[in-house]
Structure 1
Amino acid sequence: MEREVLHAWLAQATEEERLVYDEIRLFWQGPKPVANPADTARAFDRLLARIDEAEQPALAGEAAEADETGGRVVALPRPARWRRLWLAAASVAVLATGGTVAYRQYLAQPSGLAPLSYEERTNPRGTKSKVLLADGTAVWLNADSRLSFPATFSGARREVYLEGEAFFDVKRNEQMPFIIHVGTHEVRVLGTSFNVKAYKEDDAVETAVVTGRVAFIRAALPAAAARDTIYVVPDQKVVYSKASHELRVEQVNGRDYASWNQRSLIFQATPLAEVAKTLERQYNVTVRFEDERLRNCRLTGRFKDQSLREVLRLIEMTRAFDFELQNSTLLIKGLGCDAETPESLKPLTI
């Protein structure tokens, strides 16, 4: 019943309400500070009471209207009641951001176990790090990325939260699946090595497999009854499009996606717009284009242990691009590829 009400509300929600809903959903899927659930319940009840008081005039108006027309008050939510449901959901997020909600941790743990306490590793642009988790899993965290993980794993699942990019070498445990939350989606494995790329500003979420098998679980869409799962094996990559919500599997060289943690950059017919994002994250610069059409040109090349200026000098050898690097700003200019049909041309190769 609750799912049906939610889907009905989503069907007529405004764009602004949908955005708030998405923020609330993302919050609940991330780690939260732990607090006394009894205090949380009391605070939530007080807030609902205030919402009820605010709704009384609207409900009274509904009843009066029903009396005048000889009808009855319909049980389905009218606008005021939709607002109450929405405020109730939003209030949970408000309480949670104040550090007073810990329901998620308590409900996720079996009875008798203490709630999990999460630690966080954040890498600014231009930095990488390695994290060794309590179960022996090794995680290489890329630049401009954040990983949240428990100090110890307990219960039936090992769960971590990722924003950005990381390469995982997961310690096998068939009784305790390893789950990576990336936004509203999940990557689930028992024990394998793979790369996950899930930057908020990127158009897609990608998972490329080096060894073993990985399940990518797409969050259920409002009109769907269940979530979608795709399995990928070595030398395959699953790509989720944020715009179209589509999933696709591509054949790749899986080890290329582990190269960045070995100080390598590999581009395979990569749009220059994506190359620019990589340079920004790896070298902590801001990239600009003199001509926006240059973003569509594609580049193929491999770089190993090279500075930004060395990378740029090699790219300049294609005679398609020029660069200006001043302080921390990089300007890309030049003739580039055919501005009319850039996607139809052979990628520029270094």
Structure 2
Amino acid sequence: MELSALHELIGKELAGELSAAEGEVLHAWLAQATAEERLVYEETKRYWHTPAPTTVTAADTATALQHLLTRIHDAEAEPRVVAFRPVAPAPWWRTRVAATLAALAVAGGAAFWAFQRPTSEAIIPLSFEEKTTTRGASAKVLLADGTAVWLNADSHLWFPKSFRGVQREVYLEGEAFFEVTPNKRQPFVIHLGAEQVRVLGTSFNVKAYQEDETMETAVVTGRVAFIRSGAEDATSADTLYVTPDQRAVYSKSTAALRRETINSQDYATWSRGGFVFQSTSLTEVARTLERHYNVKVQLANERLRHCRLTGRFRDQTLREVVSVLSLTGSFGFELTNDQLLITGPGCEPTSTVPTVGPSL
């Protein structure tokens, strides 16, 4: 749902044309809205029932709406382009919604409106700042409460300038290692689309890349709750608690949620310049190498996807890493400046390649 889609749902509700399915979407948004957002939502309804000035023309409405969108654009941490294109004749209420939004913008309500990335299920408050890392890069972010976040390559973190309300909330797309400042009165919540991770104060890793089939969180210290989509609180059957040397793994395709035993220190390795593979599929290894070294990785045949690797690496070049991997005898490789091609006969579906690589 984009910003315009949210406006349309509000307009349909006020016009009495909201379907049951659309009502569920709107109510889900309202359930996670902040007090400020709900206040402006109520103001929207009040403006709706206020007679519009008869002197307002369609051109005036379009100009006012353009002004609102410009203010939203200017308020974001990173600029985005707002594109306009001709549309089919709109329902009668759409012009009324535009006038309502324009009135709210004049009244100072533009700071309320949230935006949503096209591929995410979570609505992110407009006031949140965004930190982005590209492939081949990582970053450390210090949040207002003292929480430290190490952001892995090709990741996005949205966070407020200060934490207010009953929860400390951030949004993540990608991978990050968190050291959360303890605060029992204000839980720390990480939104991963429709899912979330909730803690009071602990250290743990969260991996939630959009292209991956799974989301996971691995705990180093403390206790973490992974809350599956649809759960209303942290005590329901849709919540899995994990403690040190455990990780929660959530399947996007099946919605299955499981607990696994792991070496938690392996999941803090990447924040110190290394990475660890533990019986990892070659498909996932390829994705890790792509993100870490900013290179395109391709597998020469489908059987290579069945191969699984175990190895530890730190502060090594891509050529050094793939050279070590090739010592297993199961792989070859061709490396150019911007592409790595992994070759070889591949593996049977249950094959596991022996441990390779130096200790960290």
TM-score by length of 1: 0.68
The correspondence of residues 252-271 of structure 1 with structure 2, limited to 5 A, is 252-271=262-281
Deviation at 1:101, TM superposition (A): 8.1
- The C-alpha deviation readout for 1:20-57, integer Å capped at 9, x for no partner, is x98997999799x98965775478779xxxxxxxxxxx
Cα pair distance change 1:294/1:24, threshold 3 Å? farther
- The C-alpha deviation readout for 1:212-241, integer Å capped at 9, x for no partner, is 0001111118xxxx7711111000000000
Q: Identity of counterpart residues, as a percentage?
A: 54
Structure 2 gaps of 5+ residues are 1-12, 14-18, 51-92, 116-124
The correspondence of residues 163-174 of structure 1 with structure 2, limited to 5 A, is 163-174=173-184
Does residue 316 of structure 2 align to residue 310 of structure 1? no
- The C-alpha deviation readout for 1:267-324, integer Å capped at 9, x for no partner, is 0110000000000100111111111210110011110110111101111111111111
| Aligned counterpart in structure 1 of residue 249 of structure 2, from 239, 260, 263 | 239
> Residue 213 of structure 1 contacts residue 233 of structure 1 at CA under 8 Å; is this kept in 2?
yes
Give the letter for the 1:270 counterpart: T
Deviation at 1:349, TM superposition (A): 2.3
Larger deviation, residues 212-221 vs 298-307: 212-221
Does residue 162 of structure 2 align to residue 152 of structure 1? yes
> Residue 111 of structure 2 contacts residue 127 of structure 2 at CA under 8 Å; is this kept in 1?
no
Cα distance in 2 for partners of 1:27, 1:315 equals 50
Aligned residues: 272
2:349 counterpart residue number: 342
| Aligned counterpart in structure 1 of residue 144 of structure 2, from 116, 134, 144 | 134
Q: Secondary structure at the match of 1:349?
A: coil
The correspondence of residues 289-304 of structure 1 with structure 2, limited to 5 A, is 289-304=299-314
Q: Secondary structure at the match of 2:352?
A: coil
> Residue 150 of structure 2 contacts residue 177 of structure 2 at CA under 8 Å; is this kept in 1?
yes
Cα pair distance change 1:26/1:163, threshold 3 Å? farther
Q: Secondary structure at the match of 2:271?
A: helix
Cα distance in 2 for partners of 1:22, 1:149 equals 24
Deviation at 1:122, TM superposition (A): 0.3
Cα pair distance change 1:213/1:38, threshold 3 Å? closer
Deviation at 1:121, TM superposition (A): 0.3
Give the letter for the 1:249 counterpart: R
Q: Secondary structure at the match of 2:283?
A: helix
Cα pair distance change 1:127/1:230, threshold 3 Å? same
> Residue 163 of structure 1 contacts residue 199 of structure 1 at CA under 8 Å; is this kept in 2?
yes
Cα distance in 1 for partners of 2:166, 2:43 equals 28
Cα distance in 2 for partners of 1:126, 1:187 equals 26
Q: Secondary structure at the match of 1:302?
A: strand
1:56 counterpart residue number: none
Deviation at 1:165, TM superposition (A): 0.3
Cα pair distance change 1:22/1:36, threshold 3 Å? closer
> Residue 302 of structure 2 contacts residue 346 of structure 2 at CA under 8 Å; is this kept in 1?
no
Cα pair distance change 1:303/1:26, threshold 3 Å? farther
Q: Secondary structure at the match of 1:331?
A: strand
| Aligned counterpart in structure 2 of residue 161 of structure 1, from 171, 177, 182 | 171
1:79 counterpart residue number: none
Cα pair distance change 1:27/1:253, threshold 3 Å? farther
Cα distance in 2 for partners of 1:179, 1:120 equals 16
Q: Could you list the structure 1 runs, at least 4 aligned residues long, displaced by more than 6 angstroms after superposition.
A: 21-31, 33-36, 42-46
Cα pair distance change 1:116/1:289, threshold 3 Å? closer
> Residue 209 of structure 1 contacts residue 237 of structure 1 at CA under 8 Å; is this kept in 2?
yes
> Residue 37 of structure 1 contacts residue 101 of structure 1 at CA under 8 Å; is this kept in 2?
no
The correspondence of residues 109-258 of structure 1 with structure 2, limited to 5 A, is 117-220=127-230, 228-258=238-268
Cα distance in 1 for partners of 2:315, 2:202 equals 27
Cα distance in 2 for partners of 1:180, 1:172 equals 15
> Residue 140 of structure 1 contacts residue 166 of structure 1 at CA under 8 Å; is this kept in 2?
yes
Cα distance in 1 for partners of 2:211, 2:30 equals 17
Cα distance in 2 for partners of 1:27, 1:280 equals 38
Q: Secondary structure at the match of 2:158?
A: strand
> Residue 121 of structure 1 contacts residue 146 of structure 1 at CA under 8 Å; is this kept in 2?
yes
Does residue 291 of structure 2 align to residue 284 of structure 1? no
> Residue 306 of structure 2 contacts residue 346 of structure 2 at CA under 8 Å; is this kept in 1?
no
Cα distance in 2 for partners of 1:231, 1:162 equals 19
RMSD of equivalent CA atoms = 3.7
Cα distance in 2 for partners of 1:273, 1:342 equals 13
| Aligned counterpart in structure 2 of residue 274 of structure 1, from 256, 262, 284 | 284
- The C-alpha deviation readout for 1:130-186, integer Å capped at 9, x for no partner, is 000010100000000000000111121100000000000000001110000011011
